[in-house]
Amino acid sequence: MPAPSVAAVAGWERGMRRARRLVAAAVLRLLLAAHVAAAFDPVSVGLVIGAASALTGYLSYCRFAECCREEQPLNASALKLDLEEKLFGQHLATEVILKALTGFKNNKNPKKPLTLSLHGWAGTGKNFVSQIVAENLHSKGLKSKFVHLFVSTLHFPHEQQIKLYQDQLQKWIRGNVSACASSLFIFDEMDKLHPGVIDAIKPFLDYYEQVDGVSYRKAIFIFLSNAGGDLITKTALDFWRAGRKREDIELKDLEHVLSVGVFNNKHSGLWHSSLIERNLIDYFIPFLPLEYRHVKMCVRAEMRARGSAIDEDIVTMVAEEMTFFPKDEKIYSDKGCKTVQSRLDFHEAPNGAG
Ligand SMILES: Nc1ncnc2c1ncn2[C@@H]1O[C@H](COP(=O)(O)OP(=O)(O)OP(=O)(O)O)[C@@H](O)[C@H]1O
């Protein structure tokens, strides 16, 4: 057998040195891995890394797109401030809405969705307050994809299409609550809503843990109607005539009257409705009729919102153009604050057109 050449021996030694370096590096890696594995449960380590990267991805996604933050607590002081500063003459609504929402959002395990039924004369702030609530729950307010506003005469106008409305509405609610458990649904003009459509909503409002695999317990439903407005006005008027302060009216003076009155009123939409029968409405919230001083507050608020200086002459002019009832006493504005904006347009028009 021929002797190996010097070059071959040198090559063989270089190969051996390289092999020894690789083995040493592999052993070091193994020792390190064993050390880490001894210190942590590798499954948890994997989960932590996975969760961290998912969280980073989610957070950066939520910077650009709206995310459903169902566990995010309600900022109760911000809601309180909004209600106290923006909503005029509605001490009962302010108090009940604040308590109802705070209690519901603080409850980690509600047994049913929150259902609020807002009642009162036109222009007293029911839609306005729904907007405030929406903004405090989802930062984009009524424009949020987690807030859904239905208006009876707009979305469910034809009686002969009830079946279709029922199907569509149920699909819509199911799909949206699956996507975001803390979705908010507002139904305006409840008094004009067909009982069949109310029946379609009913299963979602009940105490079920899940319906077809979806839990509705963190959703919020707000119903608005003029039903019971006459009863609320009568109570407010009784207080006024007895020389008692409006702010002394308590919820107990109205809540029962309201639920019974609305239940028995054929034109209430909720007439003999199973929503009331089955106690599915958590709070009946009365909106009191607005007085002359409240109309003036609305005019000032609108001027501020427009960035105009407060001109008390215009404030008085707008308020005096509103009509007030009852005929003799003229205490309450029959449109609440509803036409304030258009009247202000008229008076603030350039060149003194008003
Ligand atoms: N109590 C209030 N405090 C402050 N602003 C109010 C109040 N009520 C009404 N407004 C103003 O008047 C506008 C119209 O009121 P809103 O739409 O909330 O009335 P509503 O009670 O929903 O009436 P409707 O029963 O006719 O639908 C609001 O956008 C708001 O600017």
Distance CA 114, CA 208 (A): 13
Atom of ligand 1 nearest to the CA of 121: 25
Instruction: Calculate how far, in angstroms, residue 88's C-alpha sits from the geometric centre of ligand 1.
Output: 10
Nearest alpha carbon, ligand 1 atom 7 = 125
Coil vs helix vs strand at 231: helix
CA of 7 to the centre of ligand 1 (A): 97
Could you tell me the two tokens for 285? 């919230």
**Cβ contact 119:189 at 8 Å:** no
Q: Among 337, 341, 344, which residue has the most ligand 1 atoms within 8 Å of its CB, making it the best to mutate?
A: 337
Nearest CA to ligand 1 atom 9: 125
Kind and range of the H or E element at 321?
A: helix 312-321
> pTM (2 decimals)?
0.82
pLDDT value for 16: 45
| pLDDT tens string 249-297 | 999 989 888 877 776 776 666 655 667 777 788 998 999 999 999 999 9
Half-sphere exposure of 304 (CA within 13 A, CB side): 8
How many Cα atoms sit within 13 Å of 106 on the Cβ side? 8
CA 317 – CA 328 distance, rounded (Å): 21
Alpha-carbon span 111 to 127, nearest angstrom: 27
pLDDT number for residue 13: 43
Euclidean distance between CA atoms 146 and 161, whole angstroms: 26
- Closest atom of ligand 1 to 128 CA is 18
Q: Which residues of 48-74 are buried (b: 16+ CB within 10 A; e: fewer)?
A: eeeeeeeeeeeeeeeeeeeebeeeeeb
For the residues 207-215, what does the mean pLDDT come to? 82
Instruction: Using the structure block, give the residue that is written with the tokens 């996507």.
Output: 179
Confidence of residue 5 (pLDDT cuts 50, 70, 90): very low
| 232, 254 Cβ separation under 8 angstroms | yes
- 6-38 burial code (b ≥16 CB/10 A, e <16): eeeeeeeeeeeeeeeeeeeeeeeeeeeeeeeee
Binding residues: 120-127
Closest atom of ligand 1 to 129 CA is 18
- Residue 320 to residue 304: CA distance in whole angstroms: 20
Closest C-alpha to 79, from 56, 61, 54, 96: 96
Give pLDDT, residue 193. Answer: 87
Quick one: pLDDT at residue 331? 96
What domains are there in the chain, each with its CATH number? 76-287 (3.40.50.300), 292-352 (no CATH)
d(CA 91, CA 95): 6
Q: Which residues pair with 115 in a beta bridge?
A: 221
Comparing C-alpha atoms, which of 151, 179, 190 is closest to residue 269? 190
Lowest-confidence segment of 43-57, 80-94, 274-288 by average pLDDT:
43-57
pLDDT tens digit sequence for 237-260: 999 999 999 999 999 989 888 877
